[in-house]
Structure 1
């Protein structure tokens, strides 16, 4: 077993004297003569194995549920003996038990806590040993980062601190307070607010950490709007009062917004972009002066941000008082739809913050390496954090003009019906194989659902829903305005996919641009009989496509072990091209 840190029984939480480091009893130095050390170490290992080994799950008598899915089996007697909080929980004084299960969100209500943080705290309660920071969740995706104070490491420590306080484990609170104090100088200014907020929840237990964080924020350039969104009002008043006493008042970052800016912000909080438009007509301020785009990207939903962008009244590359562009702020929000919306409106991914960071680096420092490196199976949503990084990476590689025609669309020739069918099928496949990426592109292009115009009114779409809107096979087929609008939206969806999600587009190309489909899509100077034959073959291939995907989906759901060699796209391609 690796050397671990072990707490003594001392309740002193102010100094480091209550902590001693030991390793296995067999490796104790000759100078240690206390006969109690070796037995205590073995006891720690035995109790720790009860928590860590699945062999002891049979004797657990309660479970803590995280995120509504993952469960941690625990033993009431051990936790009750180690924590007054759990003694109250299991006696029925705190929390609600449902069939022996306790929701973590009910036990720790004031702050979101992850699975790994809970396991770390519970492991300490069992063994008395503090685990090393888990590398898989405490390292960001930026290889150039020291990972000392990056956001993944910080989030883990702050979550453990909050849980330790909530579970009334004073010695663990003391340890993590010291750890955070040691790395405070390595933490990004905005991330100090996270530590400050949790330290304030811990009250007097984290008084030193709270004081140090407030001192740091007072001297920072963090604006009043950000402070009010992140902290309690009493802390904000304390910070602003300290700034005035130190003579730091004056710059925009330290002054309160005027009433006209506040009205615009309140309108955005209500998702009322039309009201914003009306307020702008009063000519008291502009969207840029109010930093309205920055505000919307940071605090409003994606639709409100998109609607505000569509007004065309703001500079998408405008900088706020801290030198952040809207894209920089969006990188901290970690919403791929907002990032793509900004890039399509001309946001520059190469712009630097005052301390020399691009939006890509900001996003990578906020993302766990384990999430970024995780392989995404087709048909499952990609992690949002990773998707944001991929979009920004792609934006830095190339910046094509919007609406560029894809090779696939050019192959569709002049026949509008076949082109529309092609687009419907491609977008539908994208939605099935790459749901998160497809949703981003479809939302921006304002495509609602797929296969709005099925091959027949009685046929089922690939998405499993029956449509009865428009039959593309009715003769003679007449292009209506709704067809043209639909085609425009689908084309934009495909172009966005090719621009920002090339990995996904390559897979779709292998399916949609198979020899049979490419030949069928090009009608050229075909005779009516040849067109009829191609149309019949197109219908056959669509049935094959539907059947192939359904079979692969059933096979995947039955399988407990995923394999990249049996992915959905390969299965579909093989069925479309049986000779290959």
Structure 2
């Protein structure tokens, strides 16, 4: 994406040392400054000048699973441009971890590169291709999540490093596009603006104003924002006669009890509360809550109770599948589809779950080929799952006959290979097939007579039944893999 698409020419030429050239400056001075900017930029970007660096910043990549990357920097440049780095280097630091520098919001390699490029050159360079663009071909990439997320990362890093001009630049652009940002993503902007403090006070006030008038429910606000911000929003809503989409009576005491049980990962307590008859999973929108805020295993346990409508919409018009797509959790999406969730259902603003996933996925991550043996990106997996045609397949009769040990050995080998080549895809499929609850089969198991001698309380029929359960789970693993992950189809 061309930087001129986001910023005016005056923004691109801004500089810490000389923010506004004098009108009477001769062209030779402008050329000299541009050449200085280019030479300083070469220090950062040119591998041939790597020997000049005397410090480095290591950037992890928990989201994509890639190995850490290093950026070689120059203490004299950073210290002269940033009081934050000046203080760090004055303490003798030469090896820095980015996650330790910018705590509270994850900043990626590309965003760090954009900030450092500005520090060295005084100019906003071209935005990294594919990083600020989503997968949806119909999107103009002005306010989709990848574009917003990148700007938030640059904003937060700039505020942390005390690069005031860059903070002002990106705050101004976020204010310009705020009305186009998805409602749920407004909370992320608000949270980062709050973390940035006084430097982003304008952005914070505008975000609060938008959220007050939005359909964001109180439960979501309380789970996402700090208590002082939530109180401010609640008071503003009350003063304006607004009470959120759920009304004044929700959540009541019984619903809150279910939410607390889910927060404690206690599904058994949820069952007890439901048995009391004061509320239901549907009335409490418990599946929506679990999909948004709980571990995926808790959501699957809740689904296995078979006491909720997986296609029920909440007060805002979202199904559980819509929320799982926003969270970018493939395991929950597979569980929901297995239970009959409709991928064709629309939100109140006309979006399907697949469109939500595409708008929240960076193009660069989606286009990156899957590598055997390495965990795939959650964002891409969600899109693949929602794009695949789902057909329920049962265990064929042929699998139930013949040499049980031979068939089990084959399936164990296939699933084991899948775990090695496609670890994340295999884990999602195995979790949803409940493989962990079955008895693992190995080819060197003792014979039936030997086994009976050891476990005299088990009959041969029970032993065979255990392995058939294992076979069903392994076969279901293969089926889910076939249906949802196209890159691993050859294994099954």
Instruction: Give the deviation of 1:132 after TM superposition.
Output: 3.0
Matched with 1:389 is 383
TM-score (norm 2): 0.89
| 2:474 aligns with one of 486, 490, 501 | 490
1:399 aligned to 368, 377, 390, which one?
A: 390
Q: Following TM superposition, by how much is the alpha carbon of 1:91 offset from its aligned partner in structure 2, in angstroms?
A: 1.1
1:267 has 2:261 as partner:
yes
Q: Is 1:46 equivalent to 2:39 in the alignment? A: yes
Alignment partner of 1:433 out of 421, 425, 446: 421
C-alpha displacement at 1:412, in angstroms? 8.1
Aligned to 1:177: 171
How far the C-alpha of 1:63 sits from its partner, in A, is 0.9
> Between Structure 1 and Structure 2, whose CA radius of gyration is higher?
1
Cα pair 1:221 1:253 within 8 Å, conserved: no
Q: 1:297 aligns with which of 283, 291, 306?
A: 291
Is 1:349 aligned to 2:343, yes or no? yes
Deviation at 1:380, TM superposition (A): 2.2
1-structure distance, mates of 2:247, 2:70: 44
1:502 deviates by 4.0
Question: Which residue does 2:135 correspond to in 1?
Answer: 141
**Are the aligned partners of 1:192 and 1:217 in contact in 2 as well (CA < 8 Å)?**
yes
Looking at structure 1, the residues matched to 250 and 17 of structure 2 have their Cα atoms a distance apart, in angstroms, of 47
- Equivalent residues of 1:253, 1:321 under 8 A apart: no
Question: Judging changes above 3 Å, is the alpha-carbon distance between structure 1 residues 64 and 503 closer, same or farther for their aligned structure 2 residues?
Answer: closer
List per-residue Cα deviations over 1:266-299 (Å, max 9, x = no partner): 1111111011111112222111111110111111
Correspondent of 2:274 among 274, 280, 284 = 280
CA distance 1:475–1:263, change in 2 (3 Å): closer
Q: Which residue of 1 aligns with 2:108?
A: 114
Match of 1:565 in 2: none
Quote the residue 2:213 is aligned against. Answer: 219
Match of 2:239 among 239, 245, 250: 245
Q: Which runs of 5+ in 1 are unaligned?
A: 12-17, 22-29, 457-468, 510-580
CA contact (8 A) 1:453 1:472 kept: no
- Equivalence for 2:371: 377
Q: Report the counterpart of residue 70 of structure 1 in structure 2.
A: 69
Cα distance in 2, alignment partners of residues 449 and 255 from structure 1: 41
Pick from 402, 413, 416: which aligns with 1:414?
Answer: 402
After TM superposition, list the pairs within 5 Å mapping 1:13-24 onto structure 2: 18=19
SS of equivalent to 2:96: strand
Q: What number of residue pairs does the alignment pair up?
A: 471
**Aligned Cα RMSD in Å?**
2.7
Change (3 A) 1:256 1:19: farther
Gaps in structure 2 of 5+ consecutive residues: 61-66, 453-459
Q: C-alpha offsets along residues 239-275 of structure 1, whole Å, 9 cap, x if unaligned? A: 1111111121274167652121111111111111011
1:131-174 CA-partner distances (Å, limit 9, x unpaired): 23323200001111110000001000001001111000111110
| Correspondence for 1:500 | 484
Match of 1:156 among 150, 159, 183: 150
2:101 is the alignment partner of 1:104: no
Residues of 2 paired with 1:393 and 1:318: CA distance?
Answer: 21
> Whole-Å Cα distance in 1 between the matches of residues 231 and 370 of structure 2?
46
CA distance 1:473–1:488, shift in 2 (3 Å): farther
* Whole-angstrom distance in 2 between the partners of 1:336 and 1:45: 44
Cα distance in structure 2, aligned partners of 1:415 and 1:19: 82
| C-alpha contact (below 8 Å) 2:438/2:473 kept by paired residues | no
Taking structure 1 as reference, are residues 268 and 197 closer, same or farther at Cα in structure 2, changes over 3 Å only?
Answer: same
In the superposition, relative to structure 1, how do residues 46 and 354 fare at CA in structure 2: closer, same or farther (>3 Å)?
same
2:412: which partner in 1?
Answer: 424
The alpha-carbon deviation at position 130 of structure 1 amounts to: 0.9
Structure with larger RCO (C-alpha < 8 A, sep 6+): 2
Q: Which residue of 1 aligns with 2:456?
A: none
Q: Flag the 1:285–1:58 CA change in 2: closer, same or farther, 3 A.
A: same
Task: Pick one of 307, 329, 338 that aligns with 2:323.
Answer: 329
Instruction: Note closer, same or farther for the CA distance 1:358–1:404 as it changes in structure 2 (3 Å cut).
Output: farther
Choose which of 314, 320, 330 in structure 2 pairs with 1:320: 314
Decide whether aligned partners of structure 1 residues 360 and 254 sit closer, same or farther in structure 2, where only a CA change above 3 A counts.
farther
CA distance in 2, matches of 1:504, 1:253: 47
Paired residues for 1:441-456 under 5 Å: 441-448=429-436, 452-456=440-444
Deviations 1:539-562 (A, max 9, x none): xxxxxxxxxxxxxxxxxxxxxxxx
Q: Does 1:197 align with 2:191?
A: yes
Shift of the 47–197 alpha-carbon distance from structure 1 to 2, 3 Å rule, reads same
Tell me the TM-score normalised to structure 1 length. 0.76
In structure 2, distance between residues paired with 1:270 and 1:291: 17
* Contact 2:217–2:245, Cα closer than 8 Å, also in 1: no
Q: Measure the CA separation in 1 of the matches of 2:33 and 2:401.
A: 79
**8 Å Cα contact 2:328-2:378 kept in structure 1:** yes
In 2, the alpha carbon distance for the partners of 1:139 and 1:379 equals 27
SS of residue matched to 2:284: coil
